[in-house]
Amino acid sequence: MAVDVLDFHQRAVRTPSHESVDSMRSLLVETLEDAGVNVRVDEGGNVIARRGGDAGDSPRLLFNTHLDTVPPHVPYERDGEIVRGRGACDAKGPLAAMVGAFLRADPADGRVTLAVTPDEETTQTGAAHLVETLDTDVDAAIVGEPTGLDVCYAARGQFEGEITLGGESAHASDPSDGTNAMRAVGPVIDAMDRYDDTHGPGEHDTLGSPTLTPTMIEGGEAPNQVPAEVTVTFDRRSVPPERSTEFPASLQTYLRDALPADATVNVDLIRPDTPFPEAFETDPEARIVEVLREASGGTVRPFGAATEAAQFATLAPTVVFGPGVLADDEGPVAHSPREYVDRRDVRRAADILTAAVERFVTD
């Protein structure tokens, strides 16, 4: 029961999965079934496979990563040991390593579950479905993302929202007849810069300070009309204990005090019915951290981006690990036109994960 990790990685990077994950999911299912593993695709579109015994009191480990990539597709290229292409490191490198370790490791009486989600880069509903329906307890989870083979035990959360500023429309020839919502933009952005000084969760010992960043402004219907509504879109990078469900009301109350009485303000999350990657932190002395650190020799540190790991952290101690990097000395790598990974790191990640499985489920 084995798979050529680098061959699978090549096939995966060659398979576009930025608009639909159907082909990529089929590749994964076929690879696992060809190795003699029973696989199912659940109602959330997740690919789920298990190896090991009935577990009982033996440890149960979860491997998770994702099938989807951001657009546009970047074709596969290889230059020696360097593979370029969309998903090379985010997250088909981690996926290949996990598939290799999942098929190679001997979980003895323990259990290893491989659960691969379809929409980490967008709505993350697959992970939410898994967390609600996974029919086995989990003692620890490893989430595959490009960490440079470091062991990442925490990450800031990320969610997006809109601040809707309301006024009253009027002809621009006599602007005093209305209330110009555009004039509230400056005070609102100034107030956003000060929000965390008095209302935020404060600086986190591991993750540092949260950020609140205005990213887009939209408003007005005609050049000669006083705008009655303006929308400011923001990006929030959160730290514990802040949660996305609590943030809009807090920000709205705060901004209300910063605006003139004749202007209105409403704060709403974008896609409020889909999950957001919340901030999370696993105890750095948790057993899964220790096991993976000893197997990898990598640094134990926070992860630099938001991830589905936060959802699995509600079930069990969770770490983020994988080959490749988010950025290097030249700039962004993951999600960029120059996305790449070193094949040697993909192979090494598979070896590390194999050793970690066998140590975790047998000790």
Residue spans per domain, the chain = 5-155+279-362, 157-269
Calpha distance 219→232 (Å, rounded): 9
Neighbours of 196 (CB within 10 A): 17
| Coil, helix or strand at residue 188 | helix
DSSP-derived secondary structure letter, 20: -
pTM over the 0.85 mark: yes
At residue 183, φ and ψ (nearest 5 deg) are -70, -15
At residue 324, φ and ψ (nearest 5 deg) are 90, 170
Pick from 298, 320, 271: nearest CA to 150? 298
Instruction: Please report which helix (H) or strand (E) contains residue 5, including its range.
Output: helix 5-14
Enter the tokens of residue 102. Answer: 């999942």
Task: Answer for the pair 65, 91: CB distance below 8 angstroms, yes or no.
Answer: yes
Which residue stretches of the chain have pLDDT < 70? 1, 54-56, 363
pLDDT confidence of residue 119: 96
Instruction: Provide the mean pLDDT of the chain.
Output: 94
pLDDT confidence of residue 274: 84
Measure CA 90 to chain center: 10
pLDDT confidence of residue 260: 81
Identify the CATH assignment for 157-269 out of 3.40.80.10, 3.30.450.20, 3.90.650.10, 3.30.70.360.
Answer: 3.30.70.360
Enter the tokens of residue 355. Answer: 């050793």
What count of residues does the chain have? 363
pLDDT confidence of residue 55: 59
User: Dihedral of the CA atoms 44, 47, 50, 56 (nearest 10)?
Assistant: -20
Residues 6 or more apart whose Cβ sits within 8 Å of residue 12? 24, 27, 28, 87, 92, 95, 96
Identify the CATH assignment for 5-155+279-362 out of 3.40.50.2000, 3.40.630.10, 3.30.300.30, 3.40.640.10.
Answer: 3.40.630.10
Calpha distance 340→296 (Å, rounded): 21
- What residues form DSSP beta bridges with 304? none
User: Dihedral of the CA atoms 317, 283, 155, 86 (nearest 10)?
Assistant: -50
Cα–Cα distances in angstroms (integers) from residue 342 to residues 3, 32, 292, 320, in the given order: 18, 24, 20, 18
Calpha distance 360→312 (Å, rounded): 18
DSSP-derived secondary structure letter, 176: G
Enter the tokens of residue 188. Answer: 């609102």
